[in-house]
Amino acid sequence: MKVAVPREIKNNEFRVAITPAGVHDLVGNGHEVFIETGAGTGSSIPDERYRAAGATILPDAASTWAAGQMVLKVKEPVASEFGFFRDDLVLFTYLHLAAEEELTRALLASGVTAIAYETVQLPSRALPLLAPMSEVAGRLAPIVGANAMLKPNGGPGLLVPGVPGTHPAKIAILGGGVAGTAAMQVALGLGAEVTVLDTNLFRLRELDALHYGRVKTIASNSFEIDKAVVDSDMVIGSVLIPGAKAPKLVSNEMVSRMRPGSVLVDIAVDQGGCFADSHPTTHADPTFTVHNSLFYCVANMPGAVPNTSTYALTNATLPYVRSVANRGWADALRADAALALGLNTFRGAVINEPVANAHSLPHRDLADALA
């Protein structure tokens, strides 16, 4: 199979969808790999390393997209890339289509077979291709939040760990999944007073057993969310419903009662965000003000640490990429139920039901698409 990897063009997105080790693996399995020149530069991977691993370096995006039977990306395509879509193309990337109606309709109009990293789901309900980036975003969230809390950045001038004789910052984390747990670990390491809210009592018991005495675990409901949010200096939103829009847990009215200068970091903004006033921002302009609080809603947080993120992502995606390349996308999906759940669009139809529901579109059954 011909596998192509274009350069990411989203604002301050420096990740790349494959490493030289991944190229070496695919070439060793008899496939051709095409890399757009400069695609790995932001992740400190020069063209020469890809070339040495067996890749062909192409001069621009148009030739790279055209060369691939399967195109690998990190972030969802932007409008300037829609013209590269075609009906014999397999696109394997993060898509977040429930929050991307324009992209969804462009994929349908072009007939692209689109497989989304974030909806590949194991029988345990784990999301293996979302997990590494959730870990990165989760660990970043308290760090960027702590930076936003500095007075020159619009925050209250509060040092998260405090110093002897002063209070540390109070951080509430909504969701105890992969991202929430990663955020909790770093927040604890920074010396904050941490509260985690989740609807899953079994998960809360696990967190309590691991961090007894250091983290508060609270069963999540509207009353407890209100109480925790209003009492916090920083709120980190990390809730996720696979493939669907994130639930809105923090209202505008709730934010109006928060302490002036409080910071809200929305890790779920890729899926529409879990705060009512969330909207995607960029690394170049990451925050905006709601009432007297500061929102950080960068939609590609792991792009700030591309070297770590690129290697972590490829570690997770490569086995699935290899399977699709070796078997063809249809046989690979038939053989792997987890990968099959990644199929979002096919021949002009939406296959993922939450995406169809988000945009009031008809839904085609997965089994029918794979028949």
Locus of tokens 């929050």: 99
* Residues annotated catalytic, as ranges: 96, 270
Q: Is 193 helix (H, G, I), strand (E, B) or coil?
A: strand
Q: Which residue matches tokens 């847990």?
A: 249
Q: Whole-angstrom Cα distance, residue 133 to residue 96? A: 14
Length of the chain: 371
DSSP state, residue 87: T
- Following CA atoms 294, 169, 206, 220 in sequence, which dihedral angle do they give, to the nearest 10 degrees? -50
Closest CA to 340 of 351, 349, 326, 350: 351
The three-state secondary structure class of 117 is helix
Is residue 345 within 8 Å of 107, Cβ to Cβ?
Answer: yes
Instruction: List helix spans (H) across the chain.
Output: 20-28, 47-53, 61-67, 101-110, 131-148, 178-189, 201-211, 222-230, 252-256, 306-327, 329-335, 337-340, 353-358, 366-370
Residue 298's DSSP bridge partners are 281
**Cα-only R_g, the chain:** 21
DSSP 8-state class, residue 99: G
Tokens 């995006």 appear where? 61
Other Cβ atoms closer than 10 A to 203? 17
In the numeric block, the tokens 């991977």 are attached to 45
Crossing angle, helix 201-211 and helix 178-189, to 10 degrees?
Answer: 30
User: What is the CA angle 242-246-252, rounded to 5?
Assistant: 170
